[in-house]
Amino acid sequence: MKIVNVVGARPNFMKMAPLIEAMRAYPFICPLLVHTGQHYDANMSKDFFEDLGLPMPDVSLEVGSGSHAEQTARIMVEFEKVLLRERPDLTLVVGDVNSTIACALTSVKLGIPVAHVEAGLRSYDRTMPEEVNRVLTDAISDFLFTTERGAEVNLRREGISEDRIFFVGNVMIDSLLKHTRQAESSTVLEDLNLAPRGYALMTLHRPSNVDDRSSLERVLLAIASIQVRLPVVWPVHPRTRAKLAECGLGERQGPPAKGNLGLRMVEPQGYLNFLRLMENARLVLTDSGGIQEETTVLGVPCLTMRENTERPVTLEVGPNVLVGTDTGTIVREAMRVLDGQARPGTRPELWDGKAASRIVDILVARLGN
């Protein structure tokens, strides 16, 4: 059984690593790994492969950046060549990036079944490119593997038949639980002179936050207040760093004023370094979907700087709070956490480190013959 597995952006790597490992438990499965090159920065790609124990890709498309249309089109053209050469039995895609929809659509056009891992998540905000990718990928996939119960409700509402939907848990958490102990060997806290629970961690990369100067300024104003209480560590995404320079906001990374602990802008971190930063943070501020899930399992308070989330289970049972980009709201909720009033949280159903095995078992049962 030949399965082509697609990765393109950093969140895909954490989801794919346990799937490849689970496939290797079956000697008759031939897993091929295709990296589209949607993210090509070494810290956002190569380092993650090493940290996660992912094999080097069998095929690298190296499509690079571009507009959504350009990137999606280039992936489709190059991926079609791979499919025609390899003739796989299945294409497996994860998440909601441009690589996901591009490779799913190319496969379906050639009559190759598609499995979508992390199906059914919905923010119901079509201004988000990821939302469009999610909806379209789900519509054409043959196997839809969900991370939470609400995702099945979303899919059935959209007319997806029940026999295509499988609630399996969260492969992102498979990687998290496997590597938590390994991350303890990271020296990133010592390297950055940070004490456990003595700092906040921030990530910011979505175009709605980074490309909109007013949104970016509101977030930075909030951080200016929070960093008076404790340092804020910010691994800066390359797109974000470029936008800061373009908007003339880069000077905010300067030395802190007296009595101000400061904003520490650092380079993007590898998986193990970032995991250690995240699990030891007093507070995480983010606009990332995956980090909402990871902080839920780690029990770390998370403020999501978005107006909506496609991962509602993190709000229902986790320590996640939607704060948007309003300066006052971000500061108010951050101070609640720092004053010991963080929301308690529990681990969602089936987020137990075994999602990948469930997925591969289902594929074997359905396609093995």
The predicted structure's pLDDT at residue 243? 82
The two three-digit tokens of residue 240, written as one number: 């974000």
Q: Which CATH number fits domain 181-338: 3.40.50.2000, 3.30.565.10, 3.50.50.60, 3.90.1150.10?
A: 3.40.50.2000
**pLDDT of 251 higher than 60:** no
Beta strands in 157-274 (DSSP E): 165-167, 200-202, 232-235, 263-266
| Cβ-based neighbour number of residue 84 at 10 Å | 9
Which of the residues 39, 116, 179, 205 is marked catalytic?
Answer: 205
Q: Which CATH number fits domain 2-169+351-367: 3.30.1960.10, 3.40.50.300, 3.20.20.70, 3.40.50.2000?
A: 3.40.50.2000
Mean pLDDT, all residues of the chain: 92
The two three-digit tokens of residue 119, written as one number: 């199906």
pTM over 0.75: yes
At residue 60, φ and ψ (nearest 5 deg) are -120, 120
The two three-digit tokens of residue 227, written as one number: 């960093």
pLDDT band at residue 40, thresholds of 50, 70 and 90? Answer: low
Alpha-carbon distance 17 to 186, whole Å? Answer: 20
- For residue 191, the SS3 value is helix
At residue 107, φ and ψ (nearest 5 deg) are -65, -50
How many helices (H) does the chain have, and how many strands (E)? 16, 13
- For residue 285, the SS3 value is strand
- For residue 19, the SS3 value is helix
Alpha-carbon distance 69 to 88, whole Å? Answer: 26
Domain with CATH 3.40.50.2000 in the chain: 2-169+351-367, 181-338
Q: What is the pLDDT of residues 155-199, one digit of tens each?
A: 999 999 999 999 999 999 999 999 999 999 999 999 999 999 999
The predicted structure's pLDDT at residue 119? 98
| Residue 116 falls in the annotated catalytic set | no
